[in-house]
Each structure stands twice: as C-alpha cells, then as structure tokens.
Structure 1
Amino acid sequence: MAVRRVLDEPAYVLHRYDWSESSLILDVFTRRHGRVALVAKGAKRPSSSFRPVLLPLQALRLAFGGDGEIRTLKGAEWGGGHVMPTGDALLAGYYLNELLQRLLAREDAHPELFDAYGQAVALLASEHGEALQPVLRAFELLLLRETGVLPALDLQTATLAPLHAATQYTLVPEGGLRERHGDDRAGLSGAQWTALHDALQDAAPFMATLHAGAHLAPALKPQLRTLLHYHCGGAPLHTRQLMMDLQAL
C-alpha cells in the first residue's frame, strides 16, 4: 500500500521531464521508498521555489504525498554537501542515473545502494579525475549485487568450485564467473575476484569495493559493461553513447 504522505525524505533527482508549460515530472531515487515518480507543479515558473533546487546529482530532502502512480511534490530543500560535478564527472553522474532508471523497479527501497550513490556522486564532484573509473566500477558492482544479478565472486558459478588464486576467471552474462578462455577480452585472477567478493560483504561496501578494485578498473570495465548491457535488455545506454561520441570528436 502506497504511503500517502512522506516528509523529509533523502533523495536525488535522476531525471526530469516536461509535463506542462509550468510543471515537471521527476524520477527521483529516495532512501526509504526507492524510485518514485513525482509531479512538481509550477516548478518551471521563474518564481517557483523548486526551480533552483530540483537539480540532478544534488542531495535533497523532499516532502511528497498522494497514493497514485505519480505522487505530488510538496516541498524540496537542498541537502547540502558538494557542488555539481562538471565535465567527464558530470557525464559519469548521468550514466549512474541512467543505470538506476534501467535496473531499479519503482518503489523498491535499496538504502545501502542509496548511500553508495551519495558517496559516488560526492567523489565525482571532488575533481579527482583519477577516481572516476574506479568509482564507476565500484558502483556498478554494488548495483548488480543489489538487483540480484551478480553471482558470488568467490566461486565458479556453474560448478560452485572454489577459485584458484592464480587462475584467471571472466564474468559473463549467462555463465557467471568461469575460467577465462582465449577469446575473452578481460579477466581477473581468483585472488582478485575473492578480494572484491570480501569487499562487497564489508560494513561499508562501496568504499571497501572502491579500494579493492581501484587498480582493477581497466579489466573490470568490459566485463561489467557486458553484464549491464545484458541486464538492461540489450538497449544501448544514452549516456554511454554520448561519452563515446564526445571522445571521438
């Protein structure tokens, strides 16, 4: 049963759509209610208090009500913290937003993932460019785990046999974690996969995974991208294509 009134809810705007000449439909990621659709009436008017607040990649505190598929935004305040990411970090933030929209069902709460998202966005805004790829890989791993499609990273998926520390293994969409074949683009050693598995079980999984996978990001990228593409239904991500187009200029 839908909650009729929610107050002071931590949230981020994932996307916004024009609804009328003066109003917006928001797709927001909230800590206690998951993804929620909201109508922000009058938000496009110059005098609206919503106008300077409803920005992506910014921590917000929202109040909303209603019991329909689209609730009504009642209040919005900036939650404080970092400034808006810029450049490649901004595109990376939009990429995370699109992943959440594609892979999370509506009104399915993931508080741990919400906290990880907040940490990821803060790091993207910190102007440490070298952290961008490790941040994306750590968040992708947590997102795949939270949505139940990441296999255990300390076992071979098909046989449940333990990993050998020095053997190379590859993560593939339909086969899970298996020994690396000659035509596989990338792989990690059993010891490296096990370290990532242990990091994901940590009390602070995002930071633990970020540190465990920082030097593994180049090898993780093609494997996680293939897995995400599979679970997104094969449709290309708009933000990924935009990043590729910009790099080709």
Structure 2
Amino acid sequence: MDSDFRQAYLLHRRPYRDSQVMLNMLVEGIGQLSMVARIKGKRALKQNASLQPFTCLLVRFAGKYDLKYLNDFEIQTPPLLFKGIHLYCGFYLNELSHRVIPTNEPLDHVFELYQTHLKQLYTANLTMINSNEHDKAAVSEQIEGILRNYEFQLLCELGFGVEFDFDAYGEPIEVTKHYQFVREVGFCPSEDIHRSFSGKTLFAIAQGDYQTQTVRRQAKALSRYLLKPLLGSKPLKSRELFQPR
C-alpha cells in the first residue's frame, strides 16, 4: 500500500545493491523506517543532492513489511547548513537517533522532537557566526543544553525517561539534599555527596538550565549512563569528532 506524502529526515544511508541505497528515515507521525531507494538515470545527480542530512523532505513510500520502498520524494525546505562544532552535533543527533529509535515501531512524537532540536542547533550556529569572541563561549554552553534536552526527552519518548522532580519514594526532590541514581528505581536520597547528584543540579536539569559547568558535566554523565543499554558496546562514531586533534 502506498503512503501519502509525509515529512521526513534522512538519518543514515548506505549502498545496498546495484543502483539502490538503503535509507533510514525519521518519518513524521511514524518514527524510524528503513527504505530502499533506486538512484539511477538522468535524475541520479539531483536525487543524490536531495538525499542529504538535515534536509526536510516530503516522501512517499510503499511496502507491507518492515522494509519499505521509496517511491517519490522532494525537498520541502532547504537543507540546514551547519559549520564547525554545530555540524558535529548534527551528525551526533542523527547517529544517536538512528541507533536508539527502534525501526518500524510507531512513535508519534520523535519526528517533532528531532526537528525542534535540529532547528535549535541551527539557530545556535547562526548566533555563533554573528557573535563576538566573548559571546561564543555562551553559545558553546547552549549547544550542550540542546543535546542534553534532546537526549533526556528522547529517552522519555522511548520509555526510559527519568523523573527529575521526585525521588524514588515519590517525595519532591529537595535542593539541599543529595541523590544517587539507581537504574529502574530512580533517585534515592544519599549521604555520599561525592558520588551523587545534588538536588540543586537535578532541579537545574529539570528546568533545562545548563549554565554551570557542574550541571553540564553531571547531565552528560547521566545521559551517557542512561543511553548505554540502548547503544550497546558499539561506540558512537560521531563522538570521535569532538576529541582534541
């Protein structure tokens, strides 16, 4: 059965066979789908130019089973052109989404979640280009907030979300206390301040406030811990782009 045209973003592509490519698309109102596209003939150059990351496409596909066939597509909006660290972050969003969002499982809101944070990243990119050296440090901090918010909200959509407002016993998180995170349980009150999260930090994460280095560092550590079971032992290649050269 053919689908109607839907918005979609390309997360990953690889050669398949002959003149075909395998695509992983994040599709509006559906989630992640695997599709085969035929790229050949006079339109091949134009098709390859259109099937690029960070481009909102309109796609129409067919197929009863898990593997779909891309029948038609067109560019809905021009591609978002990232530079520098923002480009690396864009690659990270794509690779993370491809790896942790299940294929062929209905997830209504992941498309909007991805699109919202991709556009936020693009706005941050434009701000950095037009800012002076003093402001660029603040924009760099903003990037981490965008990534952490996406990670935590995506985990919620996948059913692995964390409650930052209440502890494991249903009591409100208090800014003066410390909490240790226990997988599948939640945040438990702790007396060990060196191996736990302060309530103040948890409150900041819940509010999406990443102004302090402590909050950014602990939020990253927590997100990596939560994502590890979904990613498995295979590391994300995009993380290597952030390593000092």
Q: TM-score range by the shorter chain?
A: 0.7 to 0.9
TM-score by length of 2: 0.81
Percent sequence identity is 23
**Aligned pair partner of 1:177 in 159, 176, 187:** 187
**Aligned pair partner of 1:164 in 150, 174, 189:** 174
1:1-249 to structure 2, matched below 5 A, reads 4-42=1-39, 47-48=43-44, 49-80=46-77, 83-126=80-123, 127=125, 128=128, 129-130=139-140, 131-157=142-168, 159-173=169-183, 175-179=185-189, 181-184=192-195, 187-189=197-199, 193-194=202-203, 196-197=205-206, 212-215=208-211, 216-240=215-239, 242-244=240-242, 247-249=243-245
Instruction: Confirm or deny: 8 A CA contact 1:172 1:223 kept in the other structure.
Output: no
Instruction: Confirm or deny: 8 A CA contact 1:82 1:122 kept in the other structure.
Output: no
Instruction: Confirm or deny: 8 A CA contact 1:5 1:66 kept in the other structure.
Output: yes
Shift of 1:172: 5.0
Instruction: Confirm or deny: 8 A CA contact 1:170 1:187 kept in the other structure.
Output: yes
- Cα RMSD over matched residues? 2.4
Shift of 1:37: 0.7
Q: What is the alpha-carbon distance in structure 1 between the residues aligned to residue 36 and residue 172 of structure 2? A: 50
Q: What is the alpha-carbon distance in structure 2 between the residues aligned to residue 58 and residue 233 of structure 1? A: 28
Q: What is the alpha-carbon distance in structure 1 between the residues aligned to residue 3 and residue 51 of structure 2? A: 17
Map of 1:204 onto structure 2: none
Map of 2:136 onto structure 1: none
Runs of 4+ in 1 over 4 A off after TM superposition: 194-197
Give, as a single letter, the amino acid of the residue that structure 1 aligns with 2:187: L
Give, as a single letter, the amino acid of the residue that structure 1 aligns with 2:216: A
Gaps of at least 5 residues in structure 1 are 200-211
Gaps of at least 5 residues in structure 2 are 129-138
User: Deviation digits for residues 126-163 of structure 1, max 9, x if unmatched?
Assistant: 31443211110110010111111123222222x33332
Give, as a single letter, the amino acid of the residue that structure 1 aligns with 2:235: P
